C-alpha cells in the first residue's frame, strides 16, 4: 500500500515542470519558487495523511487560488506569455477532495461555485451528475442543479429533468414540488416576455400529456424557446418561434399538471394547495395566472370546501385582475372582506392568521394610494387599522402591546417587502408608538 509520503511526492513531481517554467520566465524568483514548493509539500503531506479532513483541502485550494491570482497579475505586468497550470491545478485539487470526501457538501458547493465563476460548463454538467448521484435524497441539490441550468444556460429541458428525477427520490419534499412549479412559472414569464417583445399573439390550445409512472409527462422544450436564435438576415429564427407557438407553456397547463401531481402525492392536503396558490400569486404578470389560481381554488372547493384554505384562496382571487382604479374594485374588495369576516366567525381560532393575510393584501393596494379616490383610500386605511387591531387581539388578547404587528413588519422585511413594511410602520405608529421594537424600526428606516 502506498504511504502518504509516496503519494505526496507523486503529486509534487507533477508540478515541477510548471515551477521551472515560472522561474525561467522570471514570473517568480528562485526563492519564491522554493517557497511555493515547500508550501505545496506541506499541504500534500497533510491531505494525504490518514487524519486529513475537507478543511485541509479547502486551505490548500485557497493557497493555490491566491497563488494563481498573483501569477496572473505578474504575467500582465511583465507582458509575458500566459502560462498554464493555475486553474487546472485548482480543479484537480477540488476533484481529489470531492473524491476523497464525497459526502462533504460544503466542499462540493465550493467546487461548483468555482466552476461557475470560471465558466467551466462541461465540468459543471459532470459535477451536477456526480453530486445528485451521490446524494439523491437531498432535495436542495436537485433544486440547485435545476436553477443552475435555467438561470445560467436558459435550458428548461435539463432544469425540468433534474426536478423530475429529484421527485423520484424525494416524493415527500413539499419544497421540491413547490420549487418545480415555481420553475415552470418563471419559465412562462420568460416566454411571455419574449413574445411580448416580438409582438406575437398569445394563443395556445395544446394541452399537456398525462402522467406516466413516477414522471410528469411534459412537452420537450429547449433553451431556444427562452432565447430564440438571432438570424443574420431576419433577426429572429422563425423555426424557434414556430416551436414556441405550438408549445402549451403560456396556457398554464404545465404548472397545473405539477400541482395536480403534487396533490396526489400529498393526499389532497389543503395546506399544501394553499402553498401552491401563494407561490403562484407572486407572479402577478403571468398571462395565465388567473387560470392557474382558479384551478387551485376549484380543486379546494371540490376536495376541501370547509377548509379555511379554500376561504383564504377565494379571498385573494376576488381581487384578481381588478385594478384599484376600476369601478368594480370597491365591490370586489367588499365581497372579499365579507368572505374573510365570515371565515373568522366560523374559525375564531384562526383570527390571527386570517387578519395577517388581509393586511398583507391591503398594503400593496395602499402603496398605490395616489391612484385611488380619496374616499376609497380612506376606507382602505381604516380597514387596515381594523385588521391590525384584530391581529393584536388574536395574538395577545389585547391591542395595547403591538408585538404582533412588529412581528409582521419584521416578517415583511425578511420577505423582501420593504415598502410594505415601511407603510405598516407608519400606519401603526399612532396606535403602538410606545412599543420599543416599533420605535427602533422607525429609527432604522429614517437613517
pLDDT digits (tens, 9 = 90+) for 96-139: 999 999 999 999 999 999 999 999 999 999 999 999 999 999 99
Show the cell assigned to 112: 461548483
Q: How many CB atoms lie within 10 A of CB 185?
A: 21
User: For residue 127, how far is the Cα from the chain centroid?
Assistant: 20
Residue in the structure block whose three cell numbers are 374588495: 333
Q: Give the pLDDT of residue 224.
A: 40
Q: Give the pLDDT of residue 443.
A: 83
3: Cβ contacts below 8 Å, ≥ 6 apart: none
Instruction: Determine what percent of the chain falls in helix, strand and coil, rounding each to the nearest 5.
Output: 75, 0, 25
d(CA 225, CA 208) in angstroms, rounded, equals 17
Average pLDDT on 285-297 reads 92
pLDDT digits (tens, 9 = 90+) for 169-186: 999 999 999 999 999 999
Percent of the chain with pLDDT over 90: 46
Task: Answer whether residue 207 shows pLDDT above 80.
Answer: no
Show the cell assigned to 222: 429547449
Task: Answer whether residue 2 shows pLDDT above 50.
Answer: yes
Instruction: Give the model's confidence band at 221: pLDDT under 50 very low, under 70 low, under 90 confident, else very high.
Output: very low
Q: Are 259 and 242 in contact (CB under 8 A)?
A: no
Burial tier of 335 (Cβ tally within 10 Å: 0-12, 13-18, 19+): middle
pLDDT digits (tens, 9 = 90+) for 60-90: 999 999 999 999 898 888 877 766 667 889 9
DSSP 230: P
Q: Are 420 and 445 in contact (CB under 8 A)?
A: no
Helical segments of 156-269, H only: 156-169, 174-198, 223-226, 238-245, 253-265
Task: Answer whether residue 154 shows pLDDT above 80.
Answer: yes
Amino acid at each position: 500500500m502506498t504511504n502518504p509520503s509516496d503519494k505526496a511526492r507523486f503529486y509534487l513531481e507533477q508540478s515541477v515542470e510548471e515551477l521551472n517554467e515560472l522561474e525561467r520566465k522570471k514570473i517568480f524568483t528562485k526563492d519564491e519558487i522554493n517557497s511555493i514548493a515547500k508550501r505545496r509539500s506541506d499541504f500534500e503531506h497533510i491531505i494525504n495523511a490518514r487524519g486529513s479532513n475537507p478543511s485541509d483541502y479547502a486551505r490548500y485550494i485557497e493557497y493555490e487560488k491566491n497563488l494563481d491570482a498573483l501569477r496572473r497579475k505578474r504575467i500582465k505586468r511583465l507582458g509575458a506569455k500566459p502560462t498554464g497550470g493555475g486553474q487546472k491545478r485548482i480543479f484537480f485539487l477540488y476533484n481529489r477532495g470531492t473524491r476523497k470526501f464525497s459526502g462533504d457538501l460544503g466542499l462540493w458547493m465550493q467546487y461548483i461555485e468555482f466552476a461557475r465563476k470560471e465558466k467551466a460548463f462541461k465540468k459543471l454538467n459532470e459535477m451536477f451528475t456526480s453530486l445528485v448521484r451521490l446524494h439523491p435524497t437531498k432535495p436542495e441539490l436537485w433544486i440547485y442543479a435545476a436553477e443552475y441550468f435555467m438561470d445560467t444556460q436558459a435550458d428548461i429541458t435539463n432544469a425540468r429533468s433534474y426536478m423530475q428525477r429529484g421527485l423520484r427520490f424525494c416524493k415527500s419534499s413539499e419544497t421540491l414540488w413547490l420549487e418545480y412549479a415555481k420553475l415552470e412559472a418563471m419559465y412562462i414569464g420568460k416566454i411571455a416576455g419574449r413574445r411580448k417583445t416580438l409582438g406575437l399573439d398569445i394563443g395556445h390550445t395544446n394541452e399537456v400529456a398525462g402522467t406516466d409512472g413516477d414522471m410528469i409527462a411534459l412537452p420537450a422544450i429547449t433553451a431556444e424557446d427562452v432565447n430564440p436564435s438571432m438570424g443574420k438576415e431576419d433577426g429572429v429564427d422563425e423555426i424557434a418561434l414556430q416551436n414556441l407557438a405550438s408549445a402549451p407553456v403560456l396556457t398554464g397547463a404545465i404548472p397545473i399538471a405539477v400541482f395536480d401531481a403534487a396533490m396526489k402525492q400529498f393526499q389532497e392536503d389543503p395546506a399544501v394547495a394553499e402553498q401552491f396558490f401563494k407561490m403562484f400569486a407572486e407572479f402577478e404578470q403571468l398571462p395565465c395566472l388567473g387560470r392557474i389560481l382558479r384551478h387551485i381554488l376549484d380543486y379546494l372547493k371540490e376536495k376541501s370546501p370547509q377548509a379555511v384554505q379554500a376561504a383564504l384562496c377565494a379571498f385573494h382571487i376576488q381581487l384578481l385582475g381588478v385594478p384599484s382604479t376600476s369601478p368594480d374594485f370597491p365591490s370586489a374588495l367588499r365581497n372579499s372582506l365579507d368572505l374573510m369576516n365570515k371565515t373568522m366567525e366560523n374559525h375564531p381560532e384562526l383570527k390571527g392568521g386570517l387578519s395577517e393575510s388581509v393586511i398583507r393584501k391591503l398594503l400593496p393596494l395602499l402603496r398605490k394610494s395616489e391612484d385611488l379616490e380619496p374616499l376609497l383610500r380612506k376606507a382602505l386605511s381604516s380597514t387596515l387599522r381594523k385588521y391590525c387591531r384584530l391581529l393584536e387581539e388574536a395574538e395577545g388578547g389585547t391591542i395595547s402591546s403591538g408585538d404582533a404587528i412588529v412581528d409582521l413588519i419584521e416578517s415583511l422585511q425578511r420577505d423582501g417587502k420593504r415598502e410594505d413594511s415601511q407603510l405598516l410602520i407608519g400606519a401603526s405608529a399612532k396606535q403602538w408608538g410606545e412599543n420599543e421594537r416599533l420605535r427602533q424600526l422607525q429609527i432604522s428606516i429614517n437613517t
